[in-house]
Structure 1
Amino acid sequence: MRQVFDMDNDDFDTALVSAALTLAEERGWASVTVLAAARQAGLPLPEARRRFPLKASILLRLGRMADDVALADDMICGAVRERLFDLLMRRLDVFQQYRGGLQSVFRSLPFDPALTIMLGGATVESMRWMADAAGINANGIRGFVHVNMLVAVWTHTLRVWEKDESPDMGSTMAALDQALDKAGRFGLFPTNTDEAATQDGLADLDDVADMDAGFAAPRISAQDL
């Protein structure tokens, strides 16, 4: 007799993601499979196979879960910078729940370029949503520049978060605050003159490179693992 499994899609996905990252914390991300995570969570394998066709789907789904939490409270008032700070911290609040597992994922990325590229693309799309929700132009050439600035801010903050052992994420919040200040100096936030600007935006691409250099951190090597 076929077993009836009563769980909505969001609960199913949360259970599988949680199980997968618990396994990653215990055994390392390299040893995690969708099948093992489904068994760990007591989930039906056919549904797990359908909803998570790739192992990377686990991390992509976590990213969307973080986006959903960040965007749940659609803030339309307040300064753009403060809205953006709140949006990014809400994403990190979700990541904090899976901290140990994500640390294992980060340690594996230097050895998995395909996953790194896939997550990079997903991050760009997430930051496009964060920028748009905060009231930052994310369209056209200037939008491309803004989104890439925000990716640099997020990446820098995530590096600090990875090493931040404080329960209140104090170092992470300070790093995000400083990164947003720096991005603001490079024109991330709208000003009264933006609408009248006559620049075509191409020169701003140099600003992204300069800002990335300002956030630069040593690359992870095998000795760091």
Structure 2
Amino acid sequence: MTTAKTKQKILQTFLNLLAEHSYEHVSLPLIAESAKVKLSDMRGAYGSKLELVAAFAQLIDTKVLDERDEDMGDQPPRDRLFDILMSRIDALAEHKDAVRSLHMAARRDPALALDFNRLEARSQKWMLIAAGIEVSGLKGGVVAQGLAIAFSRVVDTWLNETDEGMPRTMAKLDKELDSGSSFMKRLNGIESVAKGVRSFLRKASKGRRRRSRHSADNFERDSDFGGEEPAGA
């Protein structure tokens, strides 16, 4: 069984290689050779490069969750989310060249972009939870997906920013969160309409069942089986 230390070594090697090569040219044998581990250990640790990307996303998630500012609890949800997502950018900073390589690969390969998007949406669910914004069910999935797309745009800006103060990145995040707030209002409106429609349909269905039972009772009273015998019987 591959040890945690070996898995960490393999993941770090993968990120180092991404900083120097394109995603397509970083093969599993190259990772194993560079990390000085056997292919069997490589297989035991990660079955694919996508699993390595998932492990990287989880690494960043863990760092953000561990370092979140508990004093932000009394701040508005939007401010808490802004703080969490900027913390995510800070956590990614150490691996900026690797992140750049992953983003370029996603642009070249739509199927790969979908795989990366799925991983990012899962991470963004945890970012929402870290910000104290818990949404569940279909709505939760929609919100996490929207946030994943928005954060990807923010990362694009961050990758091209040279100012350490990151004014352009923060401005982009502000803009995306403003758009997200408008989207949430529309989503809440749609959700309210949907609830009203579901309530109407339930009431209508109950009404139909009551009318159906009433008709059946009348039929039984008027039929040979439930009413008076026919004349002349």
**TM > 0.5 fold call:** yes
Task: Give the letter aligned to residue 98 of structure 1.
Answer: H
Q: Identify unmatched segments of 5+ residues in structure 2.
A: 197-233
In the other structure, the counterpart of 1:181 is: 178
- Could you say if the C-alpha distance between residues 140 and 26 of structure 1 is closer, same or farther in structure 2, counting changes exceeding 3 Å? closer
In the other structure, the counterpart of 2:114 is: 117
Task: Give the letter aligned to residue 180 of structure 1.
Answer: L
In the other structure, the counterpart of 1:62 is: 56
Match among 71, 89, 100 for residue 86 of structure 2: 89
Where in structure 2 are the equivalents of 1:33-48 lying within 5 Å?
A: 33-48=27-42
Shift of 1:83: 2.0
TM-score by length of 1: 0.71
Where in structure 2 are the equivalents of 1:71-86 lying within 5 Å?
A: 71-73=65-67, 75=70, 77-79=73-75, 80-86=77-83
1:103 paired with 2:100, answer: yes
TM-score by length of 2: 0.69
Match among 155, 166, 189 for residue 163 of structure 2: 166
Supply the distance in 2 between the matched residues of 1:109 and 1:19 (Cα, whole angstroms).
20
Supply the distance in 2 between the matched residues of 1:171 and 1:144 (Cα, whole angstroms).
28
1:31 paired with 2:28, answer: no
Which portions of structure 1, spanning 4 or more consecutive aligned residues, are displaced by more than 4 angstroms?
Answer: none
Supply the distance in 1 between the matched residues of 2:175 and 2:43 (Cα, whole angstroms).
42
1:142 paired with 2:139, answer: yes
CA RMSD, Structure 1 to Structure 2 (Å)? 2.8
In the other structure, the counterpart of 2:16 is: 22
Shift of 1:49: 1.6
Shift of 1:117: 1.6
- Indicate the structure with greater helix content: 2
Shift of 1:12: 3.6
- Could you say if the C-alpha distance between residues 186 and 108 of structure 1 is closer, same or farther in structure 2, counting changes exceeding 3 Å? closer
- The answer to whether the Cα contact below 8 Å between 2:106 and 2:116 also exists between their aligned partners in 1 is no
- The answer to whether the Cα contact below 8 Å between 1:141 and 1:201 also exists between their aligned partners in 2 is no
User: For the pair shown, which has the larger CA radius of gyration, 1 or 2?
Assistant: 2
Task: Give the letter aligned to residue 124 of structure 2.
Answer: M
> Matched residue pairs, number?
189
Quote the sequence identity (%).
24
Supply the distance in 2 between the matched residues of 1:201 and 1:124 (Cα, whole angstroms).
26
Shift of 1:149: 2.9
- The answer to whether the Cα contact below 8 Å between 1:137 and 1:146 also exists between their aligned partners in 2 is no
Supply the distance in 2 between the matched residues of 1:14 and 1:167 (Cα, whole angstroms).
28
Supply the distance in 2 between the matched residues of 1:172 and 1:12 (Cα, whole angstroms).
35
Question: SS of the residue aligned with 1:200?
Answer: helix
